[in-house]
Chain A
């Protein structure tokens, strides 16, 4: 079921730092950032990156592991109602872990190529589907600003239709909840914790500036893997 695929996806190691536990339950741990906390200044402040990584992401991981353990026990006991009850906690915390892991890879410091527009097939695909890079950025910014409350805005690839899509998800729902064929290429966290200390309540400013540190190389790699 979805839960099994979630666990196995993790154990395939998307660089997510997997650790074994005694009963064969795979728990997850906090992945390291490939750059310093302050490396993304001035687009995202070091304070935000530190809190975001060490507090928020870690909390999602802790709670996810806890929920997985409880789920494991409930499944062994055959306690279906507990299994079902835990689903929302798993979706939230697990989704938080998955999303943030992708997010850290989506960001890179300016001196390592952050903000450079994609070349190659992804660049062509963007021009085909959205007209231009600017149009795509504008679309993502407007959708991101329009998210009520907390959520994410994604640039995703529909595997079957070979089409790029811009989607938003609420809370910590991963992109797959919007469609089973969707593969996330880029995700931008529009939860308030992602920008509040620096941009206060002006989410559009955050969205404008975050493009300077977006790692298009990673997005291109994922795209080329799915659409060779």
Chain B
């Protein structure tokens, strides 16, 4: 396994002894700021207290990242993250790009130099620190791109607190606990982990947690405050092409939500082979990426997603989702990205 060592201006004290845990070594001091921040929030609020300043002497000064343009989060993340504090994660940029699940442990200068994220980094070398480091987490809990009460009255703050804070967090922690046992599944991005643990239909025990983490990341990003309404332009055209009309698609989606037996998810996917959009329902934790399809939006129809707000009225929940919560911006961005992978039609070459 190759990895690029980050280059520094300062001297590196010594080569750290490499074992499978060194580069996962993280201490409180090594926590890096999130890649996307609203610039009004000072960086210091994201760091834990740094008792030893001199550790950072040789490291490049952290870049004060200013928002000039929306940064495209990189799709593939290394399976390393810090455990993020719950209250700090209240804000994130309104991330309408595809789900990138985890905080990248890097400062920005490193990021642009080493775009290949399959590479693992020596955390110990970052700050020239040779302190013994503690593994905090393998995968992190990513916050929804809105505050927890932003979806009221359609999805209450209590539901989000429970759903994100307890269920989603529980999946993340369960996954981390399972991954602590051995190194076999080490180093995957979350997408890859889901596909690997799905094992072509014979899922490994980690699949449930990994897939549910992925699903919930995707689900939070599929919603926005003030959502609903209709998609525009290209996505609307594609929906009309594949379903006849937007109303027809909506009906199909709602029907799928109602006829799903048990717990599961309803998806609007772009099917790779058939090259068209389709509504798909899956059970428990399964999601379309295991079949290599590209999901565009999703709806969680596990009972915990709607029980506190709608009790047993799943139909009302699905309708409210469609009318008030679904983020067509996110869907459009995902569709745009998906079109890079799936050829949806011959290009219209103008006749000379």
Known contacts A55-B312, A149-B284, A193-B312; A88/B261 CB under 8 A? yes
Residues of A within 8 A of B170 (CB): 201
In the bound complex, do residue A149 and residue B302 qualify as a contact, i.e. CB atoms below 8 Å apart? Answer: yes
In the bound complex, do residue B312 and residue A150 qualify as a contact, i.e. CB atoms below 8 Å apart? Answer: no
Bound Cα distance from A193 to B312, whole angstroms: 8
Closest to B263 in A: A149
Residues of A within 8 A of B283 (CB): 149
Interfacial residues of chain B within 158-208, with CB under 8 A of chain A in the complex: 162, 166-167, 170, 208
Binary contact track B261-281/A, C-beta < 8 Å → 1, others 0: 111100000000000000000
Bound Cα distance from A92 to B162, whole angstroms: 28
In the bound complex, do residue A148 and residue B208 qualify as a contact, i.e. CB atoms below 8 Å apart? Answer: yes
Interfacial residues of chain A within 16-70, with CB under 8 A of chain B in the complex: 51, 55-56, 59
In the bound complex, do residue A201 and residue B308 qualify as a contact, i.e. CB atoms below 8 Å apart? Answer: no
Residues of A within 8 A of B303 (CB): 150, 191-193, 196
In the bound complex, do residue A170 and residue B311 qualify as a contact, i.e. CB atoms below 8 Å apart? Answer: no
Q: Is B8 part of the binding interface, using a Cβ–Cβ cutoff of 8 Å?
A: no
Bound Cα distance from A216 to B311, whole angstroms: 30
Bound Cα distance from A92 to B259, whole angstroms: 10
Q: Is B116 part of the binding interface, using a Cβ–Cβ cutoff of 8 Å?
A: no
In the bound complex, do residue B307 and residue A197 qualify as a contact, i.e. CB atoms below 8 Å apart? Answer: yes
Q: Is B285 part of the binding interface, using a Cβ–Cβ cutoff of 8 Å?
A: yes
In the bound complex, do residue B208 and residue A201 qualify as a contact, i.e. CB atoms below 8 Å apart? Answer: no
Q: Is A11 part of the binding interface, using a Cβ–Cβ cutoff of 8 Å?
A: no
A106 to chain B, nearest CB (A): 21
Q: Is A200 part of the binding interface, using a Cβ–Cβ cutoff of 8 Å?
A: yes
Give the number of residues in B that approach A within 8 Å (Cβ atoms). 19
Closest to A88 in B: B261
Q: Which of A51, A59, A200 contacts B166 (CB 8 A)?
A: A200
Closest to A54 in B: B312
Bound Cα distance from A55 to B312, whole angstroms: 7
A174 to chain B, nearest CB (A): 14
Interface centre among A151, A172, A196, by most B CB within 10 Å? A196
Closest to A96 in B: B261
Q: Is B304 part of the binding interface, using a Cβ–Cβ cutoff of 8 Å?
A: yes
Residues of A within 8 A of B302 (CB): 149, 192
Bound Cα distance from A196 to B306, whole angstroms: 10
Bound Cα distance from A200 to B170, whole angstroms: 13
Closest to A55 in B: B312
In the bound complex, do residue A51 and residue B311 qualify as a contact, i.e. CB atoms below 8 Å apart? Answer: yes
Bound Cα distance from A15 to B103, whole angstroms: 57
A82 to chain B, nearest CB (A): 15
Q: Is A171 part of the binding interface, using a Cβ–Cβ cutoff of 8 Å?
A: yes
In the bound complex, do residue A149 and residue B304 qualify as a contact, i.e. CB atoms below 8 Å apart? Answer: no
Bound Cα distance from A81 to B323, whole angstroms: 35
Q: Which of A92, A148, A192 contacts B307 (CB 8 A)?
A: A192
Bound Cα distance from A88 to B208, whole angstroms: 24
In the bound complex, do residue B261 and residue A172 qualify as a contact, i.e. CB atoms below 8 Å apart? Answer: yes
Query: Could you name 20 residue pairs across A and B whose Cβ atoms are closer than 8 Å?
Result: A55-B311, A59-B312, A92-B261, A148-B285, A149-B263, A149-B264, A149-B283, A149-B284, A149-B285, A149-B302, A150-B262, A171-B262, A172-B262, A191-B303, A193-B307, A196-B307, A200-B166, A201-B162, A201-B166, A201-B304
* A92-B262, A148-B208, A150-B263 given; 20 more Cβ-contact pairs under 8 Å: A51-B311, A51-B312, A55-B312, A59-B312, A88-B261, A92-B261, A148-B284, A149-B263, A149-B264, A149-B285, A170-B262, A171-B262, A192-B302, A192-B304, A192-B307, A193-B312, A196-B308, A197-B307, A197-B308, A200-B162
Enumerate the 8 nearest inter-chain pairs by beta-carbon distance, A residue then B residue, closest first.
A171-B262, A149-B263, A192-B303, A149-B284, A150-B262, A55-B312, A92-B261, A196-B307
